[in-house]
Amino acid sequence: MQHPTTPTSLDHLRSRWTLGQRPLVVLAAAATVGLTVAVLHAAFVEHGYRRFMLAYLVAFAFVLSLSLGGLFFVVIQHLARAGWSVLVRRPAEALAANVLVVSLLFLPIAFSVLRGGGEIYPWAQSASMNQLARHDEPAARASASAGYEHQRLDRRTLAKRAQLNPPWFVGRWAILLAVWAFLSLRFWRLSVGQDTTADPATTVRMERLAPPAALFLGLILTLGAFDLLMSLNPHWYSTILGIYYFSGAAVGGLSAIILLVIGLQRAGALPRAIGESHYLDLGRLLFGFTFFWAYIAFSQYMLLWYANLPETTSWLRIRGLSTASGDASAWSIVALVLLFGHFVLPFLGLMSRHVKRRPVLLAAGALWMLLMHYLDLAWIVLPELGPKLHLGLVELGLLVAVLAIYGLGLAWRLRPYSLIPLGDPRLSESAMHESAY
């Protein structure tokens, strides 16, 4: 419902974010301390370097999902020609454009893959088919860095070398990151450029860009998830994993947008025109994608369990989801935490519109969903180390370090610009937005 009244709450609008130096110093210090703690702790734990790299992969997949979730939000708003979201769109645009920082964070993964140690991906071990044939299977098994069958450089893995080889992997990711960067920066530059020109044609250009952007985003996000997460087990395959990662990225991106909007408004950097109706609609989106994540997660589990193929059920078994006796592990507890923490509790909590209308409660729910989203990614990646629960100082330190670097990039991008799209022709519509119920 739109009211034909002139919003008076835009008079407190700040065109620029007056962020001081102290938050930047705190973020830089957090990155340094987190990385130091992770490195020092990894030096004294089992599988130290390998655990460090797998924990880094979790942190990288987490911040990448925030940028992709932000890009998804921007794209669907332009696809729908939505007016309500204009006031809250700039933080999402900044999250999306922060994929440039994520691209730099990919460098340690690229280095690990190219050096041929196989710390993250078994297929990245430097061994040829001739060496395997010469030493036969026992030697290949002896070269494995862990006890799971798929971590041995066997013939099934080497048969996929046309796709799973270090140079082509890094090359593919250079292309994926370049496409994501192009799309996010295109929306960003058009949007911030419109702040000075106030040209309605700019909005039309963004709306025309949205359909192909949605197509490319869905396609390359799926390919990226296959490379980043599914190839941890080169014997395993699931056509659902791409959309599973997308659903988590949507939840993570929306949660980050909600926290940014609430935090910036509390700091006085966003106008009072952002009200209960905006938070209600953001909460509805978060509620919807929480349910969507659960639907996709159950679909993947049900199809893999029902098919009962050794190549696919092994992935469930090492993550504690096998129904066979004796296969339960510490990761079974994490799976139960995800069931209740990532779906049941937030589903019941976010169902109420009273929760979604109250910034404090909505922020608490968004922060909880970010925690569950990280735990979900850890549950996908870290069981590759074994049945023991590996969630300690290495993982926490790297998460803090990577998030702090990501936050520095976000602050750098937002500081010179207005925090709302000043030139968007639907700005007044967004300021007068009231939800119908």
From first CA to last CA, the distance across the chain in angstroms is 9
pLDDT of amino acid 8: 40
Residue 75 burial by CB count (10 A; 0-12/13-18/19+): exposed, middle or buried?
buried
Tokens encoding 127: 């061994």
CB 50 within 8 A of CB 119: yes
Per-residue pLDDT for the chain (437 aa), expressed as one digit of tens each? 333 333 444 544 544 556 668 888 999 999 999 999 999 999 988 888 999 999 999 999 999 999 999 999 999 999 999 999 999 999 999 999 999 999 999 999 999 999 988 899 999 988 644 454 444 444 444 444 447 888 888 888 999 999 999 999 999 999 999 999 999 999 999 999 999 999 999 999 999 999 999 999 999 999 999 999 999 999 998 999 999 999 999 999 999 999 999 999 998 889 889 999 999 999 999 999 999 999 999 999 998 888 888 878 889 999 998 877 777 889 999 999 999 999 999 999 999 999 999 999 999 999 999 999 999 999 999 999 989 998 999 999 999 999 999 999 999 998 888 999 999 999 999 999 887 66
CB 300 within 8 A of CB 238: yes
pLDDT of amino acid 7: 41
pLDDT of amino acid 16: 52
pLDDT of amino acid 150: 87
Helix (H) or strand (E) holding 319: none
Q: 2: which strand partners?
A: 433
Q: 433: which strand partners?
A: 2
Is the Cα torsion angle 422, 425, 429, 432 positive or negative in sign? Answer: positive
Cβ-based neighbour number of residue 94 at 10 Å: 26
Residue 281 half-sphere exposure toward CB, CA atoms < 13 A: 21
pLDDT of amino acid 311: 79
Given the structure tokens 């893995």, which residue do they identify?
Answer: 157
Given the structure tokens 């968004």, which residue do they identify?
Answer: 366
Tokens encoding 194: 């419109």
Helix (H) or strand (E) holding 157: helix 155-158
Nearest 10 degrees: Cα torsion 77, 80, 82, 86? 20
pLDDT of amino acid 135: 45
Residue whose C-alpha is closest to residue 227's, from 288, 289, 177, 191: 177
- pTM attached to this predicted model: 0.93
Q: State the greatest distance between any 2 C-alpha atoms of the chain, in Å, as a whole number.
A: 80
Given the structure tokens 């030493």, which residue do they identify?
Answer: 135
pLDDT of amino acid 279: 96
Residue type, 402: V
The long-range contacts involving 188-192, CB below 8 angstroms and separated by at least 24 positions, are 188/93, 188/94, 188/96, 188/97, 188/413, 191/89, 191/90, 191/93, 191/421, 191/424, 192/417, 192/418
Which residues, at least 6 apart from 232, have a Cβ–Cβ distance to it below 8 Å?
120, 121, 122, 380, 381, 384
- C-alpha 41: how far from chain center: 25
pLDDT of amino acid 328: 85
Query: Which string of DSSP letters, residue by residue, matches 168-218?
Result: HHHHHHHHHHHHHHHHHHHHHHHHHHHHHH--HHHHHHHHHHHHHHHHHHH
Residue whose C-alpha is closest to residue 68's, from 170, 189, 217: 217
Which residues, at least 6 apart from 296, have a Cβ–Cβ distance to it below 8 Å?
240, 243, 244, 247
Which residues, at least 6 apart from 145, have a Cβ–Cβ distance to it below 8 Å?
47, 50, 118, 119, 122, 125, 151
pLDDT of amino acid 22: 83
Query: Which string of DSSP letters, residue by residue, matches 407-419?
Result: HHHHHHHHTTS-S
Distance CA 2, CA 38 (A): 51
CB 240 within 8 A of CB 231: no
Which residues, at least 6 apart from 173, have a Cβ–Cβ distance to it below 8 Å?
106, 110, 224, 227
Residue 88 burial by CB count (10 A; 0-12/13-18/19+): exposed, middle or buried?
buried
